[in-house]
Structure formats: structure tokens, C-alpha cells
A and B are shown apart, each in its own frame.
Chain A
Amino acid sequence: MALAHQPQQAVDQRELIKSIVAGNAVERRRAVSVVERMDAENIGEELRAVVADALKTEARKHVDQYFTGRRGEPTRELEDPTLVAALIRIVANLKDPSTIPTLSEGLGFGSTARAALWGLGLQALPATLAAALSPQTMHYAVDDALITLRFMVEAPVGGAPAGPDLADIRRAAAQHLSGRPYFTTLWNAIDLAVVLQDPELLEIVQRLATDRREVHARGIVTPHIVDRTLKHAADRLAGSPPLPRPPVR
């Protein structure tokens, strides 16, 4: 059917799809901005799929850059580093459980993906856990995954995690309380552990609150960060609520 006979909405979305898939950086960004301003119910299936693919592509560029930098190799600035955030906003606004795998690739770029995953309830738990536990995840994304898991425990949507789900969440906290986690990851693991109120995990947090050697053993040696870690653990055990707080529904 010729484009001229398509319903107006379909014609516009075809142009948007074309720009996102094949346009230059300016065209792509402008098209994404237009989609960002559309109501979720008006975004067709094809456009949704294109946005999801674009999110994954852009997120992977950042991940590749992260690991390249971690290896000490030179990195180049991405053409449009903030494009991924706009794509995450679009997918998050769809509030569609089928977007969970895509959203999990958006962890680490700000609060949008973690709020969206939390909002989808326990359906999002497997993907969030995978992000928290995978060695292929940037530490920024691990941090956001741990925060999301904490939200799921502190302010569950649709039903609180229990049984095997809770055990899996506990496992994520335990993994990042031990070994040599990045200091921000350790802090988020402490927060999750205290929220879980698991006795074994609390015992670890207690040691982290009082013994500098426990902090050093985890590879954190910068004095002010060690101090901060001790204080962070002590504050949580004393009942000071962790930040960020879960979103308000």
C-alpha cells in the first residue's frame, strides 16, 4: 500500500523509524526526541521494537567503552552519549513487561531504568538479578541492580519477594559483600543486606562497621573511603534509611 494511503499516525512513525535506524546523528536524535514526546499508547509495535534495539545498541557502546577503559586502553567519546538516556525514558514509559530485558540493559545510566523495573514488580526480578550477578556488567549497572533489588524488598509492587526469590536476592547481596567489590557496590550491598535483615548478612555488615581490616580485605584502601565505608555500615545498622528511597507510586 502506498505511503500516501497509510493512516497519518503510521506514516509519521515510518519516518521516525527510518530516522532512528538509518538517519545521521542529528536525524536520529530528533526522531527519538519526537518519540519521547508521544503518548505510550500511540507508539506502534514496530516503533517500539526499533527503540528497544536502539537502546541495546547504545547501551552496549557505553559498556564497550567502559571495559576498554578498564583495560587501560584509550577510549573515544561516543557520537551522542546521552541518546541512550532518551531511549531508556521512552521504553520505561511504555510500562510493558515485555521490555524488561531491554530495561535491564538501561541500568546504570540514571534512575529511570531501575524505577521502571521496580514498577513492573517481581516479573523484573530475574533480569535484575542477572544484571546484579553478571561479571559482564559495569559496576554502575550492578549498583543500580542492587538498588532495584532493595526497592523490591522495601516497597514491593504486586507482591513481596519470598522463598526462592528472596533467596536469590540474598545471594546477590552476599556476592557483593564479599570478594573485592567496588566501594559503591559494597555500599549498595550493605544497604540491601540491612533491608533483608538476614542474620548472616547482618553479621558481615557489623564487621564492616567496626573493623577497618574487613574493609581493606575487600580491596578498599583509600583512607577516606575506608572511613566512609565504616560509617556507611554503622549508619545502616543504626537505622538510618539508605538512599535513594523507593519511588512513590
Chain B
Amino acid sequence: MTRDEAVGLELEHDTAPGTVVLSAVTISQDLSHTFHVPLTDPQTLPSATGGYFWRVEDGRNTLVVLKNMTDERQRYNLIVRHAEGQWVPGLRTLEPHQSVVLDVGLLRMTQQPDATGETIPMTVSSGQVHWSVGAGSDGRAIVGRIEQVDLVRSVSATYACPQPTNDIYVDSWMDPDYWGIVTGDTVPFAVWETDEDAFGGGPVGPYEITDILFWQSSNTAVAQVVGPGLVYGAGNGFTGIRASGASNGWEAYDPEGEDPENHVPIDLWGDAEVQWCEDQTRSVMKEEYRGGQVAWTPDCSDFTDSGGSTHFSWSELNGGFTNGNPHSPWSIVRTILTDGLEDTRTNYNRGGIQLTSGYRCPHGNANVGGVQQSRHMFGVAADMYSAQHQWTEEEFDLLRNAANLTNPDELFFWHTYTDHHLHAAW
């Protein structure tokens, strides 16, 4: 947890670097303690990184103080190590000239979780704090110090390191690197990084670097990047999601040369599979309506996977899932159709009705030679015969009359179709 009320002091001088030595004295609120705080000239004593001992017990506490010395926003990574693990809040940001104080005792006491939900256990009282300047071009952009305070014994000490030895990049990866997205939803991709403490303190992270990278979709008709790592499903299909840029950690040190000035290029890919509906079958069906120029596109919720009525089974209403609709068990069958069929059967009063076609998906409709915009695709039409009687024109008219009493929207004639089926739609 950082203290919002942290204040930084900056004093300018016009003499050569290192010619001015300054310190500040702070007084505790109860006026019983004073603390001597040396001020750092960042040009001579950068103290941009650190790895220091922390202790919280018996009145002792540890504060980490960081300040952005530049006119640009800076990133830093901080880790609190202890015997049982580490506390890693992830990449933090300092605004131009902003100061921040991290109170280790307060973090432990309030059990503040880090980016992965871990807390500093109450059973640990010491460890190491490490911070490092992150993404950006200036490895010395932040100055920091650690302050040990013991109010009981009235002592304090402050530490800073002049050697800006920032964390060294080790690895990065995208996780999650695949999302199945329902059209209209937004999902979070993320990129993680691990570094190595250049002081030999061990691994740093993993921590998330999602928002310091540039994100792109390779097909914006399918998916669109709407924020760092945030991908919106726009259409239907499969596309690559790319995160590129530079690592937060720095390139490896050259023991013979200068401190590293560069980060490591990152170029990672993930996959987004966008589909209209939560399942592939309905997505395929919906795409048929869009691709087939049908003058209506169903919502995913228009498809159902079961139904039927007293005398008309789900399979029957779907041509046995072999004739006009292969997408078992999904279909569009409206209540008006099943009600119309049941009432027709009742009015007919001559036994069963055999359906030869009910719902058809657009591809199925084309395969069976159905007309464009057929009402079969809307789940309100059926083709039928008598199930029990010889199919004559007289029998046709009996069944047709029975259907006519139910106020159908479409009803045709004996000679309309060469196979003399009765087509009705409601």
C-alpha cells in the first residue's frame, strides 16, 4: 500500500553535479522523533534501483521511498521478498516528479494482496525489498531509498544505492493466449514477464506487462483491440492477436561494458476465435443466414435444442436431421407452427399427419430446392401428408381444409407441387 500523502522535495542548484550536499529533517507527528533524510543528487548518485533489508517487528517498520526524477511518466517494478515467498504488486507507474512511499508494515498488517492475490504473512518479519526501473529509456529515472524506523528505540536509518542495476529480462509469454469469444463480448489477453534481479537476488515476477505493449488484431472484421489486451469479438472467425513492443526488464549486462540501455523486443501472438453463439453449431447456423442472403438473421436465442409437441417429435420437425437441417439438435421451431400442426391434426380427425419437411437451415433449404426466403427457415412452415390414408386429391383437400381452419399464413394447392405435398405456414 502506498501513502497518498507522500511529498517529494526537489531543490535545484546551478553548480556542478556533486557540489551540493543537502539533507532534510522530518519530525514525527507527536514531535518526539526527528528523522534525518539525506537528499540525493540524481546526477551523481542515481540510486535508481535497490535491494534492501526490511524488518517489521517490535516497533520497527520499513518504508520504501521512490521518486520520479523526470518529466515523463515512469514504470517501476517492486518486489517484497520474505522467507515464505514474495509479494509482487506488478508494474507501477510514477507520474512526472511524483513521489510514493511504500509502508511494508502497513502492507503486512492490512494483508494487502498483490497482483496474484498473495499477501505478506503475519508470521514473517523480515526479508528483502527490491525495486527496479522498468519500461522506458532512462534506467536512472527514479531515485529511491529505504528507511528503517524504530519509534520505540528512536532510531532510523536510510539506505540508497548509487548503482542503477535494473532487473534483467528473462522471459515473457502471453497467457491467456487463446480466447473463444462470443460476438459482442470483450475478453482480456495478458502478457507476463519474469526478470532476474541483477544483484543476484533471484527471479523477479512473473508480473503483468500487458499495458506497456502494443496490441493488434490481424483481422478486425473478426476481432478488434479496444484496449491493452482487451479484445472485442466483432464478427465470426479466427484471427491472431499480437502484442509487441519492448520488455519491462533490461537486456543482460555486459560485464566489461556499460550498464544496459535497452529493453528486449517482445513479439507475441495469441489466437481469438470469435463465433456468433456460445457453441459452434449455432454459430455456423447463424452464419448461414448472414451468408445466404436470407432477409432475417436469427439471434442465438432463437435456436433451441429440444421441443416438439404431442404428436410431432423434435426429430420430425427437423426432417430427421437429415433432410433440410443437419445441425442436430439445434433448430428454430416456433410455437405457432406446433400449435398450427396440432390443431390441424385435430380438425383433420383422420389419424396422423406425416411431416416431410419442417425447419430448414439456409443450406438445407438450398439443398432440398426450397425457394429463397422460404418460411421453413423461419421455423413456421411444414410440408405434410396424411400418415394413414391414400394420398388422393380428396384426401389432400381434407387435410388442407383442416389446416385452413387454423388461420395459416400460407396454404397451397394440390397442383402447386408435383409431389402434391401440402405446404402450410403460420
Which residues of A pack against B, CB within 8 Å?
A: 25-26, 29-30, 32-34, 36-37, 62, 65-66, 68-69, 75-78, 80-83, 85-86, 89, 108-112, 115, 138, 140, 143-144, 182-184, 187, 222, 224-225, 243-244, 247
Contact = CB atoms under 8 A, between A and B. Distances in A.
Nearest to B406: A244
Interface in B252-296: 293, 295-296
Interface stretch (B88-96, B352-360, B366-374): B366-374
Nearest to B403: A110
Given A183-B397, A187-B401, A26 B372 contact: yes
Contact of A89 (B372, B409, B418): B409
Contacts of B408: 110-111
Contacts of A86: 373
Interface residues of B, number: 33
Contact of A82 (B295, B412, B414, B418): B412
Interface of B: 293, 295-296, 347, 350, 371-375, 394, 397-398, 400-401, 404-418, 423-425
Given A82-B425, A111-B409, 12 more contacts: A34-B295, A62-B413, A66-B413, A66-B415, A68-B415, A77-B417, A80-B372, A82-B410, A82-B423, A85-B410, A112-B409, A184-B401
Q: Is the interface of B mostly helix, strand, loop or mixed?
A: loop
A77 B407 contact: no
Pairs A-B, 10 closest by C-beta atoms = A33-B295, A69-B415, A243-B405, A111-B407, A85-B410, A29-B372, A110-B411, A33-B373, A184-B401, A110-B410
Contacts of A29: 371-373
Given A26-B372, A111-B409, A75 B293 contact: no
Contacts of B347: 243
A80 B416 contact: no
16 contacts: A30-B372, A33-B295, A66-B413, A75-B415, A77-B418, A81-B416, A82-B423, A85-B410, A110-B408, A110-B409, A110-B411, A110-B424, A111-B411, A138-B413, A182-B397, A184-B404
Contacts of A37: 295-296
Contacts of B373: 29-30, 32-33, 86
B413 A140 contact: yes
A113 to B, nearest CB: 11
Nearest to B343: A243
Contact of B398 (A26, A80, A225): A225
A65 B415 contact: yes
A30 B401 CA distance: 30
Given A68-B415, A110-B410, A82 B375 contact: yes
B392 to A, nearest CB: 9
